[in-house]
A and B are shown apart, each in its own frame.
Chain A
Amino acid sequence: MRQPGQVIVITSGKGGVGKTTATANIGTALALLGHRVALVDADIGLRNLDVVMGLENRIVYDLVDVVEGFARVRQALIKDKRFEGLYLLPAAQTRDKSAVSPLQMKSVCDELKADFDFVIVDSPAGIEQGFRNAIAGAERAVIVTTPEVAAVRDADRIIGLLEADGMAEPQLILNRIRHQMVRRGDMMDIDDVIEILAIDLLGIVPEDEAIIVSTNRGDPAVTSSASRAGLAFKNIARRLRGEVVPFLQLDEARGLLARLSRIMKLSSG
């Protein structure tokens, strides 16, 4: 009998802060580390995880088909042929959140965790039923925010709702940090956000054009060794499985040239 895996929900409150990108990259990174991973798109009616993962052409059945008994979980899971052990359970595109109840969602998650090390649920934006569904089966929550007032405010609301729901110690990913703006005082830094939200930090992810390129291609950024955001997500994946990994030094996000010139300066001065 294998040990049951853990169900982790990726959520944010505000839309557009990078939940789906985070889900895709963390899941892929965990698979690359040798784990069996199921990604679950809980955004019924607005599915996205399939295109971000580049698996949109392989969907036969979806989450609603499973819940309504038209397909078994195993039939609806899409196997990602590029990464051993990685699977996607897509959302339905033509239904709405009310097609699934929190109880049904929990039973799908319970079934998945018997077979996977990690079940990662991509939550829809908002605090309505879609969010309720997404957290129903999860024992762990990761909140994604960017260093902007609206995103942090919504993150605070989500943290409150998760705590009221009995979720133990949600953790934060601070996404899309622009080091240059932080340096000139035009973007809140990690300490600002952590102080305001009073929450554990799981990871920091620099703004990175490679994310847009990788999403264009349907190829998660963690597969590219050149992407700083990809590296950040790999670190997050390792922390999720219990490793202690130091946070990225954002001022090193300037690339190889800057690093080289700094080394030169150090050695000459």
Chain B
Amino acid sequence: MPASGQASASKDVARERLKIVLVQDRAEANRGFLEKIKRELIEVVGRYADLDPGSVEVKVSRSDRESILVARFPLRSLRRTT
């Protein structure tokens, strides 16, 4: 057990620093992954609908129980399928 009165044990410092750095790392990795999904979705959905690629939004929405991948495609118009 760490001696009392001592500055906080170095492992607590390590743990806190890690938690912070991992939040940043994971967010960054997520951005890369979401961008990839977004590009491919725009390509696929764009074949069937008239999209404004700039307004497409792909994000992960989190609750305590689950994470949901949410994509929004504001449409300019629906193409007639042939």
**What mask results when residues 1 to 41 of chain B are scored 1 for a CB within 8 Å of chain A, else 0?**
11100000111101101110110011001000100000000
The reply to whether A149 and B11 contact each other, CB–CB distance below 8 Å, is: no
**A148 to B15 CA separation, bound complex (whole angstroms):** 9
Kindly list 8 other residue pairs between chains A and B, CB separation below 8 angstroms, not including A156-B25, A185-B11.
A156-B26, A184-B3, A185-B9, A186-B9, A192-B11, A196-B18, A196-B19, A196-B22
With A and B bound together, what is the CA distance between A80 and B52 in angstroms? 62
- Residue in B14, B17, B26 with the greatest tally of chain A CB atoms within 10 Å: B14
Closest 9 CB pairs of A and B: A185-B9, A185-B2, A188-B11, A186-B10, A149-B14, A149-B18, A192-B15, A160-B29, A185-B11
5 interchain pairs (CB within 8 A)? A182-B11, A184-B2, A189-B11, A192-B15, A196-B22
| CA–CA, A187 and B21, complex, Å | 18
- Cβ A157 vs Cβ B10 within 8 A: no
**Cβ-Cβ contact count across A and B, 8 Å cutoff:** 45
Q: Which residues of B contact A196 (CB under 8 A)?
A: 15, 18-19, 22
Interface of B is mostly: helix
Q: Chain A residues with Cβ under 8 A from B2's Cβ? A: 184-185
Which A residues are CB-close (under 8 A) to B12?
Answer: 185
Contact in complex: A164, B11 (CB < 8 Å): no
Are A157 and B9 touching (Cβ within 8 A)?
no
Inter-chain CA distance A152–B17, complex, in Å, is 11
Do the beta carbons of A184 and B33 come within 8 Å of each other? no
Q: Give Cα distance in the complex from A238 to B67, angstroms.
A: 35
CB-contacts of A171-202 with B (<8 A): 182-189, 192, 196
Main secondary structure of the interface of A (DSSP, over half): helix
Q: Which of A149, A156, A189 contacts B17 (CB 8 A)?
A: A149
User: At the interface, yes or no: A254 with Cβ under 8 Å from chain B?
Assistant: no
Taking CB atoms and an 8 Å cut-off, the chain A residues in 131-149 that contact chain B are: 147-149
Is A262 on the interface with B (CB-CB < 8 A)? no
| Min CB gap B1→A, angstroms | 7
Residues 52 to 74 of chain A near chain B (Cβ within 8 Å): none
A153 at the interface (CB under 8 A from B): yes
| Residues on A with beta carbons closer than 8 Å to the beta carbon of B14 | 148-149, 188
Residues of B within 8 A of A160 (CB): 26, 29
**Once bound together, how far apart are the Cα atoms of A192 and B15, in whole Å?**
7
With A164-B33, A184-B2 known as contacts, the answer to whether A156 contacts B11 (CB < 8 A) is no
A153 and B25 contacting across the interface, CB-CB below 8 Å: yes
Residues of B within 8 A of A182 (CB): 11
A140 to chain B: closest CB distance in Å?
22
Cα–Cα, bound, A189→B18 (Å):
14
Residues in B whose Cβ lies below 8 Å from that of A157: 25, 29
Docked Cα-Cα span, A148 to B11, in Å, equals 9
Which residues A21-76 have CB closer than 8 A to chain B? Answer: none
A contact residues around B18 at 8 Å (CB) = 149, 152-153, 196
**Residue contact B11 to A187, C-beta cutoff 8 Å:** yes
A185 CB to nearest B CB, Å: 3
Closest to A192 in B: B15
* B19: chain A residues within 8 A (beta carbon): 196
Q: How far is the CB of B81 from chain A (nearest CB, A)?
A: 32
Q: Measured between alpha carbons, how far is A152 from B25 in the docked complex, in Å?
A: 12
